[in-house]
Amino acid sequence: MNPITIIWNFLSNTYHRLGSPREFYTISRYTTPVFGALFLVLSLIGTYFGLFVAPADYQQGDSFRILFVHVPVAWMSLFVYVVMATAGAIGLIWRMKMAFVVTICSAPIGAAFTALALMTGSIWGKPIWGTYWVWDARLTSELILLFLYFGIMAVYYAFEDRKTAEKATALLSVVGVVIVPIIHYSVEWWSSLHQGVTVFAEGGPKMPPEMLLPLAFMAFGFMFFYGYALFLSMQNKVLDNERKSGWVRALVNNKEQQS
């Protein structure tokens, strides 16, 4: 067998195993702590380098250091949305139970990232712009994103039947992902006070490596935090969804006997 076949078989096997709630639960019991540990290590390193090693900004002084939280959470707020909508599409097309769980469990985490990005942004904005809030493009887009998350969560809790709720939520997140670029573009056109793109600008990052490195650590750290929080929340959801099935009952009985 060539290596590609082996990798492919491994991936498709993992996909199918993760598609079953029970298998997911078993696997995630091992992966979740790993994600948590990676998050802790990466973010501690990132925080250390960000606070003590990176030089102060020649214009903004030390206040720019909030960037090491603000930028990664802002990235994550979009990343989570994309994951959520992709999972929703997978669930609707291939009728995969676990994909819906990903969608539903991602929404509150994404909303939290978005709220955090807004909060850190306005804390940062006070010393730099002299005000907590300006109606500029990125802040406004982020605020709209927060409301999209709220809408998706509201839809899920509005339905009594869980399956209907899951599908409706997935559909709305897919609709949202089509409209998000349009919202972003229109808001961009509407106003732009915010500083321009600095990291992914043409001709390489406009940031010294001492700043870029902690940023990268923090970004990956938060990525693992998302994985950690998502898996924890998914474990909960799976147990709740499957509470009538045999394996969950067996699990509960075992726990009771041990205690």
Partner 1 sequence: MFRNTSSLIQPLVFFIIIALLFPFSLPAEGLLLQRIGGGVIWVSAVLATMLSLESMFHSDYQDGTLEQMLIHPRSLSLAMLGKALAHWTATGLILTLFSPLLCVTFNIPSEQIWVLFTGLLLGTPSLTLIGAIGAALTVTLRRGGVLIAIIILPLYIPILIFGAGMLTQVAQGLEVTSQLYALAAILALSITLAPFAIAGALRITIN
Partner 2 sequence: MPNLKVISANNLSCVRGDNLLFEGVSFDVSEGQCLHVTGPNGCGKTSLLRLISGINQTETGCIKWQGANTNDNSLFLSECAYIAHKEGLKNELTAIENLRYYQQLDGINDELALDDTLAKLKILKCADLLAQQLSFGQRRRLSFARLLIAEFSLWVLDEPFTGIDTDGRELMESLCVNHLKSGGLIIMTHHQTLLDSPLNQYRSELQLGQA
* Residues that bind partner 2 in the complex, under the rule CB under 8 A: 160-163, 243-244
Give the one residue of 12, 13, 31, 186 binding partner 1; rule: CB under 8 A: 186
Half-sphere exposure of 68 (CA within 13 A, CB side): 29
| 172 near partner 1 (CB under 8 A) | yes
244 or 255: whose CB is closer to partner 2? 244
Q: How far is the CB of 243 from partner 2 (least distance, A)?
A: 8
Q: How far is the CB of 222 from partner 2 (least distance, A)?
A: 36
C-alpha–C-alpha distance, residues 4 and 17, integer Å: 20
Give the one residue of 59, 189, 196, 259 binding partner 1; rule: CB under 8 A: 189
Q: How far is the CB of 166 from partner 2 (least distance, A)?
A: 13
| 1 near partner 1 (CB under 8 A) | no
Give the torsion sign (CA, 107, 108, 109, 110). positive
| 119 near partner 1 (CB under 8 A) | no
Give the one residue of 34, 44, 179, 252 binding partner 1; rule: CB under 8 A: 179
C-alpha–C-alpha distance, residues 138 and 194, integer Å: 7
Binding site partner of 187, from partner 1, partner 2, none, Cβ cut-off 5-8 A by kind:
partner 1
Tokens of 211: 């700043």
Tokens of 23: 């298998």
Nearest Cα to Cα of residue 107 among 252, 229, 244, 216: 229
C-alpha–C-alpha distance, residues 48 and 148, integer Å: 34
Q: How far is the CB of 38 from partner 1 (least distance, A)?
A: 34
The DSSP line for 85-152 is: HHHHHHHHHH--HHHHHHHHHHHHHHHHHHHHHHHHHHHHHHHHHSSS----HHHHHHHHHHHHHHHH
Give the one residue of 12, 190, 250, 252 binding partner 1; rule: CB under 8 A: 190
Whether 217 contacts 46, CB under 8 Å: yes
Binding site partner of 162, from partner 2, partner 1, none, Cβ cut-off 5-8 A by kind:
partner 2
Chain residues that interact with partner 1, rule: CB under 8 A: 92, 144, 147-148, 150-151, 154-155, 158-159, 161, 164, 167-168, 171-172, 174-176, 178-179, 182-183, 185-187, 189-190
